[in-house]
Amino acid sequence: MSDWVKFYDFKHSVIYVNARHRDVHYRAIAESIRAYVPSPAAHVLDYGCGEATSADLVADACAQLVLVEAAPNVRASLTMRYAGHPKIAVIAAEQAAALPKAFDLVVMHSVAQYLTQAELDRLLAMFRALLKPDGLFVLGDVVPPHIAAPAAALALLRFGAANGFFWAAAFGLVRIFASDYLRLKKTAGLSHYTEAAMLERLRKAGLKAERATRNIGHNRWRMTFLCRAA
């Protein structure tokens, strides 16, 4: 397990300042993913889905939703949450490559920053293989190199102010900085990409890509890319 996966391997990650933040966050992500579902018959994969507390909103709009999560405790909690849901399956990261190559939509949101370039390239090749010929791969929340930390802090405060948890967001920022986040940022590193660098990586992976007009996540400085097999 990578150090970043260990960092996220809690039932409730320190990254979410309180339950309201977590739920508003995952609802917004689910609504954005749902908007990319091409039809009610679609098969959808969400790689690195995290706590995904609103995944049922996505499932309501498609035929099958596969949630892939590397962190075992998060996965156990997802498995309990969606046990018996007729459209949702929860699997481990190493099981993803063996899935049928028949997805209409593959999403990876807010994960690329935790991957080395080699890990990202391996996953891009896998996603390309899992997509149907006309399938869409959405790569979201890609972090650009400049002012990443102040932008993330400001975006969180704005998100908190807009959703009734500004002070919790402010205290939460202190908690995040007191957590292992900064140490891991130095030791494990975070991957940043300019728009041009990411477009080039996607092209090399055999994907035709363009930057979406807005990011899926609430941080408007981060980038979402829409990709199809070239």
Ligand X SMILES: C[S@@+](CC[C@H](N)C(=O)[O-])C[C@H]1O[C@@H](n2cnc3c(N)ncnc32)[C@H](O)[C@@H]1O
Give me the residues that bind ligand X (CB under 6 A), please: 2, 4-5, 8, 29, 48-50, 69-71, 93, 109-111, 114-115, 119
Compute the residue count for the chain: 230
Instruction: Name which of 134 and 180 has its Cβ closer to ligand X.
Output: 180
**What minimum distance in Å lies between the beta carbon of 71 and ligand X?**
4
**What minimum distance in Å lies between the beta carbon of 106 and ligand X?**
12
**What minimum distance in Å lies between the beta carbon of 142 and ligand X?**
12
The percent helix, strand, coil of the chain (3-state, each to 5) is 45, 20, 35
CA distance 186 to 168: 26
93 Cβ neighbours under 8 A, 6+ residues apart: 47, 48, 68, 69, 70
Which helix (H) or strand (E) segment holds residue 132: the answer is strand 131-142
Name the residue whose CB lies closest to ligand X: 50
Instruction: Name which of 61 and 208 has its Cβ closer to ligand X.
Output: 61
Instruction: Name which of 77 and 207 has its Cβ closer to ligand X.
Output: 77
**What minimum distance in Å lies between the beta carbon of 133 and ligand X?**
26
Q: What is the DSSP string of 100-122?
A: -S-EEEEEEES-GGGS-HHHHHH
Instruction: Name which of 54 and 135 has its Cβ closer to ligand X.
Output: 54
Instruction: Name which of 21 and 133 has its Cβ closer to ligand X.
Output: 21
CA distance 228 to 90: 25
**What minimum distance in Å lies between the beta carbon of 146 and ligand X?**
20
